[in-house]
Amino acid sequence: MKTGFAQFHPLLQMLIFVSCISVTMLIMHPVFLVTSFLLSSAYMICSSGTGRLLSALKLDLITSVMIIIINPLVSHAGVTVLAYLPSGNPLTLESVIFGFAAALLMSCTVNWFFCINSVLTSDRIIYLLGRLFPRLALMISITLGFSSKLSDHYRRVRDAQKCLCSGNKNVFFRIRQNIRIISSVIQWSLENSVDTADSMKSRGYGTGKRTGYNNYKFRAFEKLLIILIVLIDSAIAAAYFSEYIYFSYYPVLEIETNNIWSYVVFAIYALICLIPLAADLMEAKKWKYLRSGI
């Protein structure tokens, strides 16, 4: 049975995740990015273990390297020229720093979506969106659950191919073998998608008024948390539009840190990102205390 943040109301969970992701994506301030990355990684370790974090970091590394390399090659804005590319376009310090910031943004987004996948199960997503957007709810639910099924099926096909051709170490043979594996997995995924669509259509999904399988109810502290998060999001938005947390990458690096309000905004954003981790740690401490009394 899941405990801690995983047992919160689905609407509260969605509100926290949307707040964490949207602030980093829309504002893209370095302090927000670092805070989001560290706390999302810490929550992944607490809720799913280090294996889950390592899987996310592998994906983070691949996407980050691509962004860091590509951005300075295609973006030449900025006033600080470091060198000139063979094409004659300038390589600027601002484009390099923006590339690192964009890579960190992508890593934060990947980490939070790993967290969403472990907390917001398919029944919770359908509970949130099923009545208003039944087709969208079904599509999101299938997509989140399908990634793990696709990985498992890929590993099974790969292991079967290894057993059949374990002695062949030719490079070209391995390339053809991987192509066959990927082709098999894609074919399986398409067939599975069609079967799922036909099954839900036969059951009349989305044709009538929908009732929820689970009836989630708000607890008193969850209502207070929702009010608190809405107030924090409003404060962050007000500080951003008032330029208390101003940061600019182009055409020159500029940052505003000469006011106390910027530090307050950084602290309250960290508070939102800390809620999932704090809930799990408090639950673990509670269970440890109860077990000690047995």
Residue-range domain boundaries for the chain: 4-123+214-292, 151-202
Query: Averaged over 105-111, what is the pLDDT?
Result: 92
Instruction: Write down the residue that tokens 């999101």 correspond to.
Output: 140
**Per-residue pLDDT tens for 48-86?**
888 888 888 888 888 888 899 988 888 888 888 888 888
Sign of the CA dihedral with 33 first, then 39, 43, and 46 last: positive
Sign of the CA dihedral with 23 first, then 243, 267, and 236 last: negative
**Per-residue pLDDT tens for 27-42?**
899 999 999 999 999 9
Polymer length in residues for the chain: 294
Bond into 30 cis (ω within 30)? no
Report helix, strand and coil shares of the chain as percent, to nearest 5: 75, 5, 20
Q: Count CB neighbours of 263 within 10 A.
A: 13
**Per-residue pLDDT tens for 154-182?**
778 777 777 766 666 667 777 777 777 87
Strand segments (E) across the chain = 81-84, 90-92, 247-248, 254-255
Strands 254-255 and 247-248: antiparallel
R_g of the chain computed on alpha carbons: 23
For residue 28, the SS3 value is coil
